[in-house]
Amino acid sequence: MNDFNTTIINEFRTNNGHVETAGFGKNLVLLHTVGAKSGEPRISPLFGLADDGSWLVIGSFAGSPTTPAWVHNLRAHPDSVAVEAPAVDGIERHDTQVTEITDDDWDEAWAKFTSFTDQFVKYTETAQGRRFPIFRLTPTA
């Protein structure tokens, strides 16, 4: 894990899910996955949008033309995913069901991200035509 991610994770946990770094505020989740190739546990801090009892996360990778590793992990091991998210009294961890947003619903989900911040639109300028995968993480319990 890189130093930036470690800093963000520590700030998230220290401040009950609130992260000032990079302006995340209460819109950050910690995604727990299993490495697609390694089988090792991974934690990825991600911008997460609360959406009807679930969270939406997007594989924008800050506009990189490369898909982030956590996307490959989700696709390889969708039954081994958990999320830590801000809650009323701190942070809650939930095992989740993962659903990749399909073509039919992608535009609507994309609009939720772009209406929250135009930064996602800016990311498309450097992504070399890559359409960002979007996932719904729904608590299983």
Classify residue 24 as exposed, middle or buried by CB count within 10 Å of its CB (0-12, 13-18, 19+). buried
- Best CA proximity match to 100, nearest among 135, 50, 74: 135
pLDDT of residue 61: 93
Over residues 25-65, the pLDDT tens digits come to 899 999 999 999 999 999 999 999 999 999 999 999 999 99
pTM, entire model: 0.93
* pLDDT value of residue 113: 95
What's residue 33's pLDDT?
97
pLDDT, averaged per 10 consecutive residues of the chain (141 residues), comes to 88 94 90 97 96 96 94 96 94 96 95 93 94 97 72
Q: What pLDDT is attached to residue 22?
A: 81
The torsion angles phi and psi of 11, rounded to 5 degrees, stand at -65, -45
Q: Are 56 and 115 in contact (CB under 8 A)?
A: no
User: Could you give the CA distance from residue 90 to residue 108 in angstroms, rounded to a whole number?
Assistant: 30
- pLDDT the model gives residue 1: 61
